[in-house]
Amino acid sequence: MAVTGDVPATQDEQDDGWVIVEDAVPEPERVRHRETVFTIGNGAQCVRGSFEEGLAGEDPATFLHGVWDDEPVGMSELANLPRWIGVDVWVDGERVSLRRGVVEDYHRRLDLRTGLLTRTARWRANDEAPAVTLAFERFVDASRAGGSAVRVSVTADADARVRLRAPLDSHVENTGRVHFDHVGQTSDEWAASLRVRTRATTIEVAQAAVVTLQGAGSKAWGSDADGAPAVEHECELTAGTTAVLTKYVATIASVSSADPVGEAFGLARELADAGWAAVLAGSSAVWADRWAASDIVVDGDPEAQIALRYNLFQLQIAAPRFTDRASIGAKTLSGFGYRHHVFWDTESFMLPLFVHTEPEVARNMLAYRWHGLAGARAKAAANGYRGAQYPWESAGEGVEVTPTWVPDLNDRTKLVRIWTGDIEIHITADIAFGVLQYWGATGDDDFMRDMGAEMVLDGARFWASAATLEKDGRYHFREVIGPDEYHDHVDDNAYTNYFARWHLRAAEDVWRWLSDKHPQRAAELGEALAIDDEARASWKTVAAGMFLPLDEKTGLVEQFEGYFALPDADIELLRSPERTESMQQIDGIEGCARTQVLKQPDVMMLQYLLSDEFTSAQLRANYAYYDPRTDHEFGSSLGPSISAVMACRAGDSERGYDHFLRAARADLLDVRHNASDGIHGASAGGMWQAAVYGFAGLRLTADGFSTHPQLPASWKSLTFTFTHRGERHTVTVTNEPEPTERTPAGPRGEDSNRA
Amino acid sequence: MAVTGDVPATQDEQDDGWVIVEDAVPEPERVRHRETVFTIGNGAQCVRGSFEEGLAGEDPATFLHGVWDDEPVGMSELANLPRWIGVDVWVDGERVSLRRGVVEDYHRRLDLRTGLLTRTARWRANDEAPAVTLAFERFVDASRAGGSAVRVSVTADADARVRLRAPLDSHVENTGRVHFDHVGQTSDEWAASLRVRTRATTIEVAQAAVVTLQGAGSKAWGSDADGAPAVEHECELTAGTTAVLTKYVATIASVSSADPVGEAFGLARELADAGWAAVLAGSSAVWADRWAASDIVVDGDPEAQIALRYNLFQLQIAAPRFTDRASIGAKTLSGFGYRHHVFWDTESFMLPLFVHTEPEVARNMLAYRWHGLAGARAKAAANGYRGAQYPWESAGEGVEVTPTWVPDLNDRTKLVRIWTGDIEIHITADIAFGVLQYWGATGDDDFMRDMGAEMVLDGARFWASAATLEKDGRYHFREVIGPDEYHDHVDDNAYTNYFARWHLRAAEDVWRWLSDKHPQRAAELGEALAIDDEARASWKTVAAGMFLPLDEKTGLVEQFEGYFALPDADIELLRSPERTESMQQIDGIEGCARTQVLKQPDVMMLQYLLSDEFTSAQLRANYAYYDPRTDHEFGSSLGPSISAVMACRAGDSERGYDHFLRAARADLLDVRHNASDGIHGASAGGMWQAAVYGFAGLRLTADGFSTHPQLPASWKSLTFTFTHRGERHTVTVTNEPEPTERTPAGPRGEDSNRA
């Protein structure tokens, strides 16, 4: 698939839907977007797609799970690690830059099968100079958390003196903020190392690079610029020969090692001893296993094919594979957006694909929340509630890190109050929902006993204490924010209230299971969390008395109290193809709040997740009402994939496909103009759900599954692999015979592979 | 004077009160304080006293007037320029650091006569290694805005291989914030250059360094680390020989040059061609002239002697000598504190010494305010007033840059509202007062016609429109902050109200003078500022009706309405020598606001500046009341010097001397524990006023002066030089015969020099 310029995506015929291609040096205004697109990683660290030799306007970055540092507005962010990808190239004394001189035959390819990123070009300093052929390759070792490697080949058309410098560069920043102090460095003719330390959190990060050169007899030396130690090579190439510099890099942080420097040197040597081919083969083998568990094949739609794999890839590289003390931030590990904070996006949008393709990764993500219980309890206590109220934004420790005030971009003397950390309370239920989803799909009782139950139970305590009994005899939540953030400080948000009831009921089920199967743990938690008959009775009372908006006649669920009384949204403007800005940009947040326009599905999200609680007619009625009032194009990036699922459930898979394409293009084609800040993780995770739960119509039961396909017209078939209750299934679905919603039974697709 | 550790300051017997001495490598917790203390500069740029070879924990910085960049909280700050002082030294492959190895005979000396900073030490890598003697020297060229030079000498005890690296390093920051993008660089065996550009304001700064080495035949090369180009030298020293590296540096910004790079190269070459001795001699000659115009000699008190010269020096290097588009920030150009913003500190505390020693510099400072009229008018308009309301904090353009909200250091989720930019309104009169002070002392009618009158007149328009006529028939200012910031949102602050009247009356005088002497300019301003009979009548009405607190019986002026009704300050605690924190730290700002405790003189400041408006008895009564209620020790650093003057006027010069010593020790001995953020500019300027207006009792008349000395007991004599109405006077005063306040006539001191 080409992502160059504004050319519509097309499939590279030879790549069979596995390769992201760029065929021209990105224009200056595209540089940061393409850095995001070409992000690679291994579930411990990710590195943006910056050029090895550098390019003006880049925001190069590597992020490693756990290396948080303080930040004044956003409280905490992952510190951008020293830049390890760099290889500077001089040809006959001229510094190579693809912004200067003459560039021909430029190609960049990201092979999703292996995570290998390659870039080739022919370059001349000027029209008269002889050309060199350059090849840059790099990958992050999928089998070793700290490992990565870069290889640069220079082939000369004519005799040429080539200098190659391979630094570890500590002069990095997080969009203007410096996080690291320089601690120490070494450099000689074969290796360089660097030690830095975060300023507030005093996390030490060590990097080591072992550098080799193949080619005509060269001289090598260490260069010791402060903060940027390097190994340098210089050689005299004769026409037609090639110099190949290989840089084996290890990055180790003190969060996972007592001896980061020693471990980094050890790992870099290990990689170098094994050699490029062996390390890449080992890493590729891990990728092969991963794809075997998760691949999705779309026959008939190259764009959908590459976009699905690409978005899976981006989540797979960001997911916490080597620790259970981290999870995936809203913008993954691919940019600076939202400062790597973890939102509900993670459990509600990204978790399902891991639950069903790599449950061990899903377990890490949920264990991260369990480690954050102290922060959730502190938040509940600070708000005068019992139990565990999860933070809206969570970083290393799991305390609330939502900014309270941020600068007003229109008036630098003003600040804007961010309320989500105060009153967007539904996330506590979203996490519990993720826990039960994982448990239901995996049957991982050990996890449930040790971690899951505690999260669900302590969350229920929060809900029971936060709900307010009013004169009408019902329980209410006032002044909250639901998924649709165009409306804040609303009363009785349907999503929140229904989920509170769901959570309270689920807690009772979990408690019964725990008491039955693990009475000692139940006793322990009962004691610690003061769960007694009275407490459980209150859960039941609150759940039974919860105010739940539903118009029995129309089937409509009012998004919050008073929503239907608001002036209608400007549907003509909303649905106009001419619109190029979000409704928030057009009307302001206050303007949006005064009408029915939605930033993203809210009642739809509720009916998607708690579909058992609504009838099919209610679903269709609400879809018909809310879908046209939603800013799918420029509202929240969380919306389109969920809207795609719900369109399918409402029987309109072609409209679902429109929504799906919007999600597919969020990052690859940057249709929201903010992909430079990082991958839209929720959108990426939602695409998997749109394909599997929407177009394939997968439904899971305790010990089986069924599919109810509604493929877009252009799709000949859809094949996907998932794991349920320990069994892996690869299923192919087609549109033949015509699916109907009234056909509940049996798998409609063909289960071709029970692994 | 030694400033090492906590040893009380003592005069170096050989230096005659001109040299600041440090005799041990600063302990880690002293490093940033000493960087401030050893700041040098030339009135265009200042550089902190960081080590050429670096020292852990430093905040190295160079600031150049005019190179502002945006900053999210404080709006604007001077961008820390690339670090040009660096010279890295290796001896037999060991990097020299005075934190490692064995250090002996360490001495640092700042010669205030010439601005030359030198540092010497003997160093060995370890007990067994032979020693080298190191000498570091640097100065900023007083005769060329962009010029500076560094010299490093290495003398070997035994044969040694010495490597010297002289970089221009763009990897700098403003306490964690990066302001510069790298634009370009060059390096070869004789010179290096660097181009950087501020990110928001796109100001380009070019640096060039020409580097020479004297000594045993060495090899030289350019090193080209990205962002830190350097010239390197390596030589083999034989025992007893010396290598001397000299680095001639030019720093040119696009705010003053159309070709920064060309100009930087030109200037660096010019300096190198002239050579160290000639450049230093030229610079020293400028210093000699400056000291001839401004020196103060105290006989009998070495600490007071060195502190007076030191504080003069620090203001002289920060004052705008090469531009009239800059002024002196609250922390001068010596640190990051207050982000280089210009407050009332400048006109009320620092300006007087320049008015009377270097009036051309005072003119630049006031012209900066004239260039800021647009910003002052914008502020008045935004607040619904007419005329020009000067910003409380001013940066490059003169618009209001006071932060509105700053992070709460005690709770990272909270912000603290800063009100000074909204309601500390007296600064407009303070600036007008400075204008009239300058005009009165210099008779610079051209300045008054072109700039001064406009500032005074448009300020009067502000006052007339901002005063509120109330039922009592008087004009009031409600909800303001006076000089004492422990009490905000007060009504009828005496300082503000008296100064408003003063300003309105002064405007009428200025208008009459302008109409009489420069009718065309008067017509022009009258038209532009809508100054007609009606406007002038309103000035008169408001001035005549201004509410002015004064108890005729006691002579007491109530600082603001209701002040005397507040519970008294805890005077016992305030005056206890055991107290080690400010009253704000002890009671909180709200706690202070509820009592009579003062952060700094307020009524005293009023009576100091507008002394003609009060009787001597009133002055004594208010001094007796307010002085004991002021947190002299840990309140505002602006207070002690003014308290010193007023103690003298109240006949208590010994108490005045206590106050004076507090000011003297603010930076040299860091008694306020925040000198690391930069020089306390107002305290420094106030010391000159304490000496000249306090201890010497200078009083100026239209064409003459008198002195009324009240020297501290230990002072045998005080000699000072000042310029008044174009004539330079050097006056020596003594305590003989006993001064009395009732002796108004004739100079008591000896005028030894009419230049």
Residue B415 has a pLDDT of 81
Please provide the average confidence, as pLDDT, over all residues in chain A: 94
* Per-residue pLDDT reduced to its tens digit, B268-325: 999 999 999 999 999 999 999 999 999 999 999 999 999 999 999 999 999 999 999 9
* Per-residue pLDDT reduced to its tens digit, B386-420: 999 999 999 999 999 999 888 777 776 678 889 99
Mean pLDDT of A523-541: 97
**Residue A85 is which amino acid?**
I
Is pLDDT above 90 for B257? yes
Is pLDDT above 50 for B651? yes
Is pLDDT above 60 for A12? no
From the list B498, B462, B286, B469, the residue with the least C-alpha distance to B382 is B462
Q: Is A485 on the interface with B (CB under 8 A)?
A: no
Q: Is A232 on the interface with B (CB under 8 A)?
A: no
Mean pLDDT of B41-47: 98
Residue B241 has a pLDDT of 95
Q: List the single best residue of B180, B199, B226 to mutate versus A (max A Cβ within 10 A).
A: B226
User: Given B167, B227, B407, which is nearest A72 (Cβ)?
Assistant: B407
Ranges assigned E (strand) in A49-145:
62-64, 68-71, 75-78, 88-91, 94-95, 102-111, 116-124, 132-140
Is pLDDT above 50 for B513? yes
Is pLDDT above 90 for A407? no
Q: Is A393 on the interface with B (CB under 8 A)?
A: no
- ipTM exceeding cut-off 0.95 for this assembly: no
Query: Which residues share a beta bridge with A249?
Result: A148, A209
- Residue B14 confidence class, pLDDT cut points 50, 70, 90: low
Residue A742 has a pLDDT of 32
Peptide bond into B709 cis (omega under 30): no
Distance from CA of A205 to the nearest CA of B (A): 18
User: B75: which chain A residues are within 8 Å (Cβ-Cβ)?
Assistant: 412-413
Q: List the single best residue of A178, A186, A201, A379 to mutate versus B (max B Cβ within 10 A).
A: A178
Cα dihedral angle (A563, A567, A568, A570), rounded to 10 degrees? -130
- Residue B518 confidence class, pLDDT cut points 50, 70, 90: very high
Q: Is A467 on the interface with B (CB under 8 A)?
A: no
Q: Is A93 on the interface with B (CB under 8 A)?
A: no
Contacts of range A92-96, beta carbons closer than 8 Å, 24 or more positions apart? A92/A125, A92/A129, A92/A160, A92/A161, A93/A161, A94/A125, A94/A129, A96/A53, A96/A123, A96/A132, A96/A134
pLDDT > 90 in chain A, percent: 91
**Residue A204 CB neighbour total at 10 angstroms:** 20
Rounded to whole angstroms, the Cα distance separating B137 from B447 reads 40
User: A413: which chain B residues are within 8 Å (Cβ-Cβ)?
Assistant: 75, 400, 404
Is pLDDT above 50 for B748? no
User: Given A54, A173, A226, which is nearest B178 (Cβ)?
Assistant: A173
List the alpha helices (DSSP H) in A594-724: 603-609, 616-626, 639-649, 653-668, 681-689
Q: Who's near A533: CB < 8 A, 6+ residues apart?
A: none
List the alpha helices (DSSP H) in B669-704: 681-689
Rounded to whole angstroms, the Cα distance separating A35 from A676 reads 7
* Per-residue pLDDT reduced to its tens digit, B437-482: 999 999 999 999 999 999 999 999 999 999 999 999 999 999 999 9
User: Given B176, B228, B407, which is nearest A177 (Cβ)?
Assistant: B176
The structure tokens listed for A206 are: 């060590």
Q: Is B700 on the interface with A (CB under 8 A)?
A: no
Residue A16 has a pLDDT of 81
Please provide the average confidence, as pLDDT, over all residues in chain B: 94
Rounded to whole angstroms, the Cα distance separating B311 from B292 reads 16
pTM above 0.90, yes or no: yes
pLDDT > 70 in chain B, percent: 95
Are the beta carbons of A169 and B226 separated by less than 8 Å? Answer: yes
User: B88: which chain A residues are within 8 Å (Cβ-Cβ)?
Assistant: 226
Q: How many CB pairs under 8 A join A and B?
A: 60
* Per-residue pLDDT reduced to its tens digit, A333-389: 999 999 999 999 999 999 999 999 999 999 999 999 999 999 999 999 999 999 999
Rounded to whole angstroms, the Cα distance separating B223 from B188 reads 7
Q: Is B182 on the interface with A (CB under 8 A)?
A: no
Catalytic residue selected from A358, A485, A558, A633: A485
Are the beta carbons of A227 and B88 separated by less than 8 Å? Answer: no
Q: Who's near A741: CB < 8 A, 6+ residues apart?
A: A616, A649, A651, A708
**Residue A151 is which amino acid?**
R
- Residue A412 confidence class, pLDDT cut points 50, 70, 90: low
- Residue A15 confidence class, pLDDT cut points 50, 70, 90: low
- Residue B732 confidence class, pLDDT cut points 50, 70, 90: very high
User: A230: which chain B residues are within 8 Å (Cβ-Cβ)?
Assistant: 225
Q: Is B412 on the interface with A (CB under 8 A)?
A: yes
More confident residue, A97 or B752: A97
* Per-residue pLDDT reduced to its tens digit, A101-142: 999 999 999 999 999 999 999 999 999 999 999 999 999 999
Residue A753 has a pLDDT of 42
Distance from CA of B50 to the nearest CA of A (A): 16
- Residue A410 confidence class, pLDDT cut points 50, 70, 90: confident
Are B22 and B7 spatial neighbours (Cβ–Cβ below 8 Å)? no
pLDDT > 70 in chain A, percent: 95
Rounded to whole angstroms, the Cα distance separating B84 from B268 reads 12
Are the beta carbons of A415 and B405 separated by less than 8 Å? Answer: yes
From the list B599, B586, B604, the residue with the least C-alpha distance to B655 is B604
Are A599 and A574 spatial neighbours (Cβ–Cβ below 8 Å)? no
- Residue B348 confidence class, pLDDT cut points 50, 70, 90: very high
Residue B737 has a pLDDT of 60
Are the beta carbons of B171 and A227 separated by less than 8 Å? Answer: yes
Is pLDDT above 80 for A577? yes
User: A400: which chain B residues are within 8 Å (Cβ-Cβ)?
Assistant: 413
Place of tokens 């690859």: A668
* Per-residue pLDDT reduced to its tens digit, A488-517: 999 999 999 999 999 999 999 999 999 999
Q: Who's near A318: CB < 8 A, 6+ residues apart?
A: A41, A43, A46, A328, A329, A332, A333, A334, A679, A681
User: Given A88, A171, A223, which is nearest B171 (Cβ)?
Assistant: A171
Q: Is B474 on the interface with A (CB under 8 A)?
A: no
Task: Pick left, alpha or beta for residue B12 (phi over 0 → left; psi -120 to 50 → alpha; otherwise beta).
Answer: beta
- Residue B6 confidence class, pLDDT cut points 50, 70, 90: very low
Is pLDDT above 90 for B702? no
* Per-residue pLDDT reduced to its tens digit, B261-278: 999 999 999 999 999 999
Residue B747 has a pLDDT of 41
Residue A740 has a pLDDT of 39
Residue B449 has a pLDDT of 98
User: A407: which chain B residues are within 8 Å (Cβ-Cβ)?
Assistant: 72
User: Given B54, B227, B400, which is nearest A171 (Cβ)?
Assistant: B227
Nearest chain B residue to A165 by CA distance is B225
Query: Which residues share a beta bridge with A250?
Result: A147, A208
Q: What are phi and psi of A237, to 5 degrees?
A: -85, 140
Catalytic residue status for B22? no
User: A225: which chain B residues are within 8 Å (Cβ-Cβ)?
Assistant: 167, 223, 225, 228, 230
More confident residue, B743 or B681: B681
Residue B745 has a pLDDT of 40
* Per-residue pLDDT reduced to its tens digit, A183-197: 999 999 999 999 999
User: Given B171, B404, B407, which is nearest A413 (Cβ)?
Assistant: B404
* Per-residue pLDDT reduced to its tens digit, A678-733: 999 999 999 999 999 999 999 998 778 999 999 999 999 999 999 999 999 999 99
- Residue B574 confidence class, pLDDT cut points 50, 70, 90: very high
